[in-house]
Each structure stands twice: as C-alpha cells, then as structure tokens.
Structure 1
Amino acid sequence: MRRGIRGTLATALVAGLALAASGCGSGGDGGGAAGGELSGTVTFWDTSNDAEKATYRKLAEGFQKEHPKVHVAYVNVPFGDANAKFKNAAGGGDGAGAPDVMRTDVAWVADFANLGYLAPLDGTPALDDTGDYLPQAVGSTRFHGKTYAAPQVIDTLALFYNKKLLEDAGVPVPKTFAELGAAARKIKAKTGATALYLRGDDPYWFLPYLYGEGGDMVDAAHKKVTVDNAAGVRAFRTIKQLVESKAAVTDATDGQENQLKALKDGTVAMAVDGPWDIEGARAGKAFQDKGNLGVAPVPGGSTAQGAPQGGWDLSVYAGSKNLRAAYAFVKYMSSAQVQRETTDKLSLLPTRTSVYNDPAVKRNEMVAFFKPAVDRAVQRPWIAEGNSLFEPLKVQMNKVLTGAATPEQAAKAVGDAYRKLLKDYT
C-alpha cells in the first residue's frame, strides 16, 4: 500500500515538473548578459568516490566544450565531509566558499532546501525534458511544492556474492537472511570465508533489515514514528543474531573500505552493496574473472524483501553569483547523453527513461539487474529531518552489535529520539 501510494505521488510530481519547466525565464543573473553567451566560473562539488571521480571530472569539464567562456572549477569533496562542509559554506555570511552546483545525496535535498540554501529550479533551464525522468527518481527533488534538484543517478542496495565461494560450499544464493545464516557454517567449513560482511557503521545498511520485517523509520503521511514497533525490534534482533552466530563479520569504523576489501580479497562470500562499488569490487583478486561477481536481490526478512531507494541529485546554491551558467551546467550533467556515458563507464543507473532504451545500456549486465531492483525499492520519507533520522539508528546499531543494548532497548531508544526530533509526530 505504502509503495503504491508513493509511486502515484511520484508520477504526479513528474507531471508537475514538466509544467513548471515549461515556464519562461532562467531566474538567474551573472554568467553573461541575459540571453547572451554564458561566461564566468561554475564551481562544482562532486561527492563521487575514488573509483568514480575521474569519470565525473571529465564529464564536468566537457561542459566547457559547449560553453568555451565558462570555466568549470571541479572539486571532489569526500561524501563523509560534504554535508557539513556545504552547510558551513552556505550558512557562513555571504556564502563565500559554497559551490555553484553540488552533487547532492537524495537525503540532503529537503534539508538544504528547508534551510534556504538551494535555488528553486522550477521554470529554469536546469529542468530539461522532465517527462523523461523515472517517476521514482523525482520524489527527493521536491520540497513544499517546489523543485530543488535534478535527478542524476538512482540506486539501491543488492547482495554482491562470490560465485565460486558459494559453489565450493554447495549453497545457493540466499533469498532470506535466515537462509544466509543457515548456510554460514557450511561456507566457513568448505571455503574458510565468512558468509557476510555486515555494515555496522552506516545505518543506511540497516534499512533492508527493517524493511524485511515490514517496518519503516516513520510513517510521514500520518506523522507517526514506527521504528520502535515489533518490526523494528525484529530488525535489530536479526543483525545481532547474524553477528553472534558468526554468520557475519562487522566493523564499527570504516565499513565502506573494510567491506569492499573483504569482498575483493575473498575473505567474505557476500556483502550488501550498491552499483557504485561494482567497479571497485571487480578490481580485487577474487574477481580477476569479472564473471565471478554475482548480484542478487537483498535477502528478505520474515515478512518482506526490500532495499532503500538512494541516488544523487544536482542542486544549485541559492547564493550563486552565476545562476545562468549553473542552471545550464545542471541541464548538461543530468542530460541523457551524460547519463549514458556515466552508465557506460561506471555502471551507475540513469534517472531518464530514454537512456534505458539505449542498446549499450540494455546490454549492461548490472543495469539489467539493478533496474528491476530500483523499481521495487522503498522510498524513504523525503522530509527535512530525513537525514537526521540516521544518527540515532547508528548509535543503537553499535550498541546492539557490541552487546550494550538489547534489540528491544535499541528500538525504544531510536523511537524516543525520533519523537524529540519530530515534535509533531506521535
């Protein structure tokens, strides 16, 4: 029910975007005389990872070929630093040091817009051919009836697995976390590998366990906190049991790098990850034969199967001194052509329907899997406090995994924290 309603709303949002984008005027200043040739500098903060940033830099600089009087100042900002760095720059007096355009995590858009840091894009050239966007990619770009970003990449989580290790252990790809736990002892005995690397440092990776029990963080439509109901308790219990039974190894520090290394080295047979790590995983010794990397749906819980919808949007700083060029840059970076190149080089999923009809994109094996996974992914609540919902989860995940809290205590603590954060939620 929830997913169906959200899909309908997203479709309506696409229609709204198309109408808004048909309006006249760029709403910008700087970048040359109105209607004239673009000029000046566009500073672009790219939050892509080490395996992606060279491609994004080349694509960003390609904008200069179309607009030779515009200089793109490319800056790669580590994902972990980007949110706070942008807020500090955008909120610091005259906004000196803030970028003109930022590659923004989908969970940040509503927060930044609520603070007044993003320029509305309705009626600007930034929103080009909006009817081509996937309906489910639009939700995160909207806040209080306005559009504050252009969808650029959509993603979700899936189960990456080492085909040889599972074959040597004689176990099938698990469809549930219960099946994974049951197969773990055989995997260890036959191959020496631990069954799963469980990300204990990042609460985003908790969501498949929560969705797998039929739960969610909040019910935004009815303004209710739901993370501390029975489904939330079961989700915490699942991660606790996987680690205590030695079916999974976890690390509360740098889980991103440690998980990828464990997968690449073959010390774990499986990991829940996203399309951004496909090329990174294939660079490891365990996948010298690239065909050895398998991708399957995230295992389900006791009642459901689901992974969170993620991705990246392109947003414009409200205080930009070169809005016309910034709008044009967003149009370029979210265009079908750039998305095709991104998919070709990085296997990331585009947000435009037309790109999926491209023969080369259709042949991309990871797109072939992840597109259906994205279609089934669960949209998160696109509220200003959405990103803040993760910190209480992170704290309690660590407590459960280290034995400092029971699943019941952890779920209650997260629910209490949410009610303090969301004053009008019950």
Structure 2
Amino acid sequence: MRRGMTVAAIAGVLALTATACGDDGGGSGDSSGRKAAEDPQSVSGSITWWDTSNEAEGPTYDKLVKAFRAEYPKIKVTRTSVSFDQAEQKFKTAAASGRGAPDVMRTDVGWSAGFAHLGFLQPLDGTPALENPGDFLPGPLSTAKWKGVTFGVPQVTDTLGLLWNKKIFAEAGITEPPATWDEFIATAKTIKKRTGVTGTQLNPEGYFSLPFLYGEGGDMLDVGGEKITVNSPAAVRGMETALKLAQSDVALKPATTDGYVAAQTAFKDGRIAMIINGPWSVTDTYGGKAFKDKADLGIAHVPAGSAGAAAAPIGGHNYSVYRGSKNKDAAYLFVKFMSSAKSQELTATEINTLPTRKSAYTAAVTADPAKKAFQESLAISRARPVIPGVGDLFVAFDQHYVKILRGDVSPEEGLNALAKEWNSKLLKNYSIG
C-alpha cells in the first residue's frame, strides 16, 4: 500500500529491459480489444490473475471470479495468490523473460509507472478494460497513468486520516477532532491533563510524514520540473511540526523498530487518543479492547498546517494487463468486470476495501461511517510522485525521518541529507531545490 520499486528490484531488471516489448508509452500497436468490445460473449481462452491481496480476502475474490465465469463461460480464470512482498520482483523477472507472467496482475500504485516504463504493461485507453473512466475518482486514476497513457484500472484506493477515540475525548470534555496540527497538539495536552491518556504516537515511516509536508505546501518532488523539493523551506516547516510533536510530553516516543505496529497497538489498546492511519487499519482497530463499541472510533481529515492546507497521500492497487498476454480480449473483459461498480460494492461491504469508482459509493457502502469518512478524506488527498522507482525514495526517507524524530539531526539537516542521497543514487537527472 505504501511501497514501490526497490533498489534491488530495479538493478535486477534493468539488464533485462532490452528483451521487454515496447516503449515508454503510446498505443498497443495491435487490434486487441475489438472482439471484446464488439462481441464479448464470443471471447474464449484462459487467463491467469496474480492476486496480491491477503489470504482473508481470497474468498471474496473467488466469489467474483465465479460470477465472471458465469457471465463469460468461454473464459477460464485462474486466480493465483502471490505474496505482496515478492510480487513486484517476480512479475518483472517473468515479464522480462517472456515466460510465466500473468495475463492480469493486481499492481500496487507505486509499481505501475515502473512496469510501464519497462514496457511490461498494455496501454488500456480505448479498451473495454477501462470502462467509463470518468466514473473513477481522479486521484486513484492518476496513479494508473504514465506519460499520459493509462496502464492500469484502479481496483482499490486508500489514504490517511485522523483516527480518534471518542470515549477519551468525551472524558476530556472535547467534542470535535482537531482541524490543524496546532490544535492537535493543544488537544493532546488537554487530554493528557484531564484523563492521563497520552495524545498520540507517530509512525516513523516517511510515508506518514507527508501530511506534515503537505500541510505547509511542501512535497517530495516537482516531477515536471525535475526538482527534488523534499528539503524546501515548506517541507522543513512541516518536519519541524512533526519533531515538535514527537518530542513533546503528549506523545509516546516513536518506536524505531516496527513503528507502525507499535503506534497502532497503542491506539487500539486505548493508550493513546489519536493516530494517523488508513482505512486498512479499521478492522484491526475494531478488534482492540478500546473499541469494543465501534461507535467510539472517530475518523476525520488529517490536520492542516500553518499554510491552511490539509492533504494526505493516496495509495491503493490497480488491475494491470501484461503486454505479452496472448489473451488480451479475455483479460480486458475480466478487468472490466472486476473493476465495475457492482464488484467494488461487493468487496467494500465484504472485506472493507475503499472503492475507486464514484458510483460504487452506494448507500450500502456509505452506511459504514469509516468508509464514508475516508471517502471524504480522498477529496483532499493527492497522488505521490508518479515515477519509476518511487518506492525507493521511501527506503531512504524512512531512515532520515527516524533520525529527525529522534533529534539526531535537525529537520533541515535531515532533509538536506535525504535530498542529496536521492540525487546521488536515484534521481541523478534532478536538481535539488
């Protein structure tokens, strides 16, 4: 959900790109899709789908595959569960060699640009796979594009929000969540004083620092201008807020090992009153002793910074079609079916995914207050930089963010060091600032 291409993965594939089919973008150069569009019931063949979701979600996707086969009996679908941690490298190795790649893959949004750049993905503009693109939320759809060409169909999306314990807030006499980071700190102090409960704990991953940067008008990169902006004055101000919070007496010290788990556990156990997290965490939160009554969980936008902006990063997954597939018509129909509003409504209600289609936010979906809240948060969210290897940026980001939160370096020193590392290893064609 938060990661993209790794350094090792890129190194292992670049030598193979000469065997990959195609350019950085553009049309498919074939007539695939015509039969699927004009006479879908006549399409036949077998396709393989690599599903990188977790084991608990498998039965719901099996149900959808069964429904697809009932509608298209001439198409056989094999759903193969592939470990998310291994899928990126496994797909690139198979696609580069031309052997063993799936027809359809569930692709993390951080992988799409890299796969497209290597020529492994089929352009989907104008194909039956990308049905009614105007129905997709703009943010998720933007993650599926590379150089103006659509290489994926948004499957599920996510973002970050402010999760808060309504029971603790009520005990402190507070009725509304904080709207700014200054209010966040003030709220945490009031809660600590009146209830003894610590306000929050920060997740020390760079991804979770982005609301602080966005809140000051900062960002990681200016992709169009090929500039590294993670150390801009605005970004430094945002990081200063994160440091102020981390080192205050109203926040548990960020854990440097399994920081995500530590913060999430503290929240669901009721040891902290607020946390920044995503929709994927809600089911786990409901399982905590502090939320036996689900109504005690509140969800709001991430707080705004001094610039008045509030924004969070967009994550999620896309359906991608392998450019070397011999059964593209069948693959297009499968992606079309799986990404339909009806299919997204089913997954949203059964396994708590967040839809990417506007029309999938039906009454049955928005009846869940968590989904409704995160739907609203998507309106203020933005895609991370859409470039090949975006996940590598976070490998270094995590390391420098931890140093900043520990006070080993100042925010300016830490972000300057991060910018230089990106420039020397990953973004050599970019300027700094």
TM-score (normalised: structure 1):
0.84
* CA–CA separation in structure 1 for the residues paired with 2:297 and 2:87: 31
Q: Extract unaligned runs of 5+ from structure 1.
A: 1-19
What is the letter of the counterpart of residue 39 of structure 1?
Answer: G
| Match status 1:274 vs 2:278 | yes
* Contact 1:162 1:292 (8 Å CA) reproduced: yes
Aligned to 1:55: 60
1:51 is displaced (CA, Å) by 5.7
Change (3 A) 1:57 1:280: farther
Q: Write out aligned runs for 1:170-189 (5 A).
A: 170-171=173-174, 172-189=176-193
- % of aligned pairs identical? 42
Aligned to 1:45: 51
| Match status 1:382 vs 2:386 | yes
* Contact 2:179 2:303 (8 Å CA) reproduced: yes
Number of paired residues? 398
What is the letter of the counterpart of residue 151 of structure 2?
Answer: Y
What is the letter of the counterpart of residue 222 of structure 2?
Answer: D
Selected match of 2:342 from 337, 341, 354: 337
| Match status 1:221 vs 2:228 | no
* CA–CA separation in structure 1 for the residues paired with 2:117 and 2:409: 34
Selected match of 1:141 from 120, 144, 150: 144
Aligned to 2:199, the other structure's residue is in SS state strand
* CA–CA separation in structure 2 for the residues paired with 1:54 and 1:196: 36
1:342 is displaced (CA, Å) by 1.9
* Contact 1:28 1:323 (8 Å CA) reproduced: no
Selected match of 1:365 from 345, 365, 369: 369
1:215 is displaced (CA, Å) by 0.4
* CA–CA separation in structure 2 for the residues paired with 1:90 and 1:55: 28
Aligned to 1:156: 159
What is the letter of the counterpart of residue 221 of structure 1?
Answer: G
Selected match of 2:401 from 394, 397, 404: 397
Q: Extract unaligned runs of 5+ from structure 2.
A: 1-26
* CA–CA separation in structure 2 for the residues paired with 1:235 and 1:86: 37
* Contact 1:347 1:366 (8 Å CA) reproduced: no
What is the letter of the counterpart of residue 387 of structure 1?
Answer: G
* Contact 2:236 2:415 (8 Å CA) reproduced: yes
1:52 is displaced (CA, Å) by 4.1
What is the letter of the counterpart of residue 161 of structure 1?
Answer: W
Change (3 A) 1:35 1:371: closer
Aligned to 1:286, the other structure's residue is in SS state helix
Selected match of 1:320 from 317, 325, 330: 325
Q: Over residues 254-313 of structure 1, what are the superposed CA-to-partner deviations in whole Å (9 max), with x where a residue is unaligned?
A: 344333332222122111111222222222222111111100111122222111122221
| Match status 1:126 vs 2:129 | yes
Q: Over residues 18-57 of structure 1, what are the superposed CA-to-partner deviations in whole Å (9 max), with x where a residue is unaligned?
A: xx99x9642899xxx99834232423222x3466454334
Aligned to 1:378, the other structure's residue is in SS state strand
Selected match of 1:26 from 29, 33, 49: 33
Change (3 A) 1:394 1:361: same
**Which segment drifts farther, 227-236 or 203-212?**
227-236
1:374 is displaced (CA, Å) by 1.0
1:224 is displaced (CA, Å) by 1.9
Aligned to 2:374, the other structure's residue is in SS state helix
1:410 is displaced (CA, Å) by 0.8
Aligned to 1:410: 414
Aligned to 1:161, the other structure's residue is in SS state strand
